[in-house]
């Protein structure tokens, strides 16, 4: 099947969807600067819409247009998934219990601009406006003054409109799985730790150890080694405006960055080997969307409560994780004992606490199900979201013994008002 002619060209016939109409849904989430569609293929038992209890997963590749391996192996992945469904019991169960979104290219203009393939660098890295899309997102640690590009805005809206739980962002130029955070504020000892650092390490190792060679950690030259094939993003190098931190802070979606090839744009005859090297890792990583706990938050009448804050005790997110419009929540957690705290943020509603024992559920293709029901009748609250400002910077200021300024007070009040409304 010619996936490239449809996904990556300007038009054509939707061959994949035509061949598998009940398993796939093809749509564009927006357009690039030059007007090319940003195609996404959704796969699953319910490809056209979200279904309660089924988590949303995504792979995004080629946000740097000259890094081509990820884009190609995602096309191979699509072929493998659709042809294995109904034949392979693991793939069948995976797609029956997961809604998988695949975007082979986030930067089609950059790819088309890469006329001479190069292993190390070309102008095709950037979009048509010369912007690096992986430096273009709002940043949780410092103000990012970059003008938001059409491709970036499309992905931000996509994240806002779906309930993504887990994601990976495919790159080239190294061989490593990198995880949040990429940036940091204040003093640092070379590691920027998130509240879910243990989960991120597990996710990165899941990919690395299922890859043909990433786990060896040898890197691409003698100067750059990555023990076990993983790295904290900031420990590698500091990055402002990255997509993985944005997903985690504002999208409630755990995302890691996968560097899949030492050569950014390798010869075509090497692509089959790249697919073989990554095939198992790509599938095993998708399974991790079923880690932890999930459920619905409802009121006395069984009506869903949207925007309720659901957090595991001891793991506070700077932008609290909330239920979607169906009252659903998904928390990625490793096996263990946790206290889940649910706050409806409605006057008169007290918080609900529940201790849960989470088993390893990835093999069952379903996280532990734990619903919460408030004894009161809900009054629907309006949608709440955190402002796209450096939340960690303001949080650090609030806890520091410094003399406040009017600006700091106003910004901090805005943050707290929006978060806890």
Give the N- to C-terminal CA distance of the chain in Å, as an integer.
50
Report strand pairing: 328-331 vs 293-298.
antiparallel
**Residue 103 — φ and ψ, nearest 5°?**
-115, 100
Q: Count the Cβ atoms, other than its own, within 10 Å of residue 301.
A: 9
234 touches 191 (CB < 8 A): yes
Say whether 259 is catalytic: yes
Residue 285, C-beta contacts closer than 8 angstroms, at least 6 positions apart: 166, 168, 203, 206, 207, 210
Q: Residue 306 has which token pair? A: 């949207």
**Alpha carbons 274 and 77: distance in angstroms, whole number:** 12
Which three-class secondary structure state does DSSP give residue 214? helix
Residue of 356, 327, 330 whose CA lies nearest to 344: 327
**Alpha carbons 109 and 390: distance in angstroms, whole number:** 30
Q: Residue 233 has which token pair? A: 């993003």
Q: Residue 392 has which token pair? A: 């960690």
Bridge partners (DSSP) of residue 24 are: 43
Q: Residue 151 has which token pair? A: 């491709």
Q: Residue 85 has which token pair? A: 């469904």
Q: Is 283 left (phi over 0), alpha (psi -120 to 50) or beta?
A: alpha
Residue of 376, 206, 356 whose CA lies nearest to 294: 356
Within 125-236, strands assigned E span 164-171, 174-179, 230-232
Q: Choosing from 72, 131, 162, 259, which is the catalytic residue?
A: 259
Residues in the chain: 421
Residue 418, C-beta contacts closer than 8 angstroms, at least 6 positions apart: 384, 385, 386, 387
**Alpha carbons 399 and 405: distance in angstroms, whole number:** 14
**Alpha carbons 74 and 285: distance in angstroms, whole number:** 13
How many Å separate Cα 133 from the centre of its chain?
15
As annotated, the active-site residues are: 259
């Amino acid at each position: 099947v010619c996936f490239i002619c449809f996904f990556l060209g300007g038009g054509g016939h939707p061959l994949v969807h035509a061949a598998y109409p009940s398993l796939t849904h093809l749509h564009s989430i927006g357009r690039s600067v030059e007007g090319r569609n940003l195609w996404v293929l959704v796969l699953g038992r319910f490809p056209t819409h979200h279904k309660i209890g089924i988590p949303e997963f995504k792979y995004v590749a080629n946000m740097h247009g000259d890094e081509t391996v990820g884009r190609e192996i995602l096309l191979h992945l699509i072929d493998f998934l659709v042809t294995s469904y109904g034949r392979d019991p693991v793939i069948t169960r995976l797609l029956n219990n997961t809604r998988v979104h695949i975007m082979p290219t986030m930067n089609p203009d950059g790819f088309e601009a890469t006329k001479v393939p190069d292993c190390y660098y070309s102008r095709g890295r950037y979009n048509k406006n010369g912007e690096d899309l992986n430096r273009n997102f709002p940043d949780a640690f410092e103000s990012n003054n970059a003008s938001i590009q059409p491709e970036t805005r499309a992905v931000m809206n996509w994240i806002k409109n779906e309930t993504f739980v887990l994601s990976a962002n495919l790159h080239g130029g190294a061989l490593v799985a990198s995880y949040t955070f990429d940036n940091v504020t204040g003093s640092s000892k070379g590691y920027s730790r998130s509240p879910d650092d243990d989960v991120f390490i597990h996710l990165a190792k899941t990919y690395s150890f299922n890859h043909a060679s990433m786990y060896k950690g040898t890197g691409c030259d003698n100067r750059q080694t990555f023990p076990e094939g993983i790295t904290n993003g900031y420990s590698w190098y500091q990055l402002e405006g990255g997509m993985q931190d944005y997903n985690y802070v504002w999208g409630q979606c755990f995302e890691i960055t996968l560097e899949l090839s030492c050569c950014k744009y390798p010869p075509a005859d090497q692509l089959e080997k790249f697919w073989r090297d990554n095939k198992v890792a790509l599938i095993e990583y998708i399974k991790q969307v079923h880690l932890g706990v999930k459920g619905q938050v409802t009121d006395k009448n069984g009506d869903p409560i949207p925007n309720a804050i659901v957090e595991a005790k001891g793991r506070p997110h700077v932008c609290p994780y909330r239920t979607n419009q169906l009252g659903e929540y998904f928390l990625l957690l490793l096996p263990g004992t946790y206290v889940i705290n649910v706050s409806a943020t409605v006057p008169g509603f007290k918080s609900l606490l529940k201790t849960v024992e989470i088993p390893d559920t990835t093999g069952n293709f379903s996280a532990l199900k734990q619903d919460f029901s408030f004894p009161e009748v809900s009054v629907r609250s309006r949608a709440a979201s955190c402002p796209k400002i450096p939340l960690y910077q303001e949080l650090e200021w609030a806890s520091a013994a410094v003399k406040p300024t009017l600006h700091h007070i106003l910004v901090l009040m805005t943050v707290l008002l929006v978060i806890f409304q």
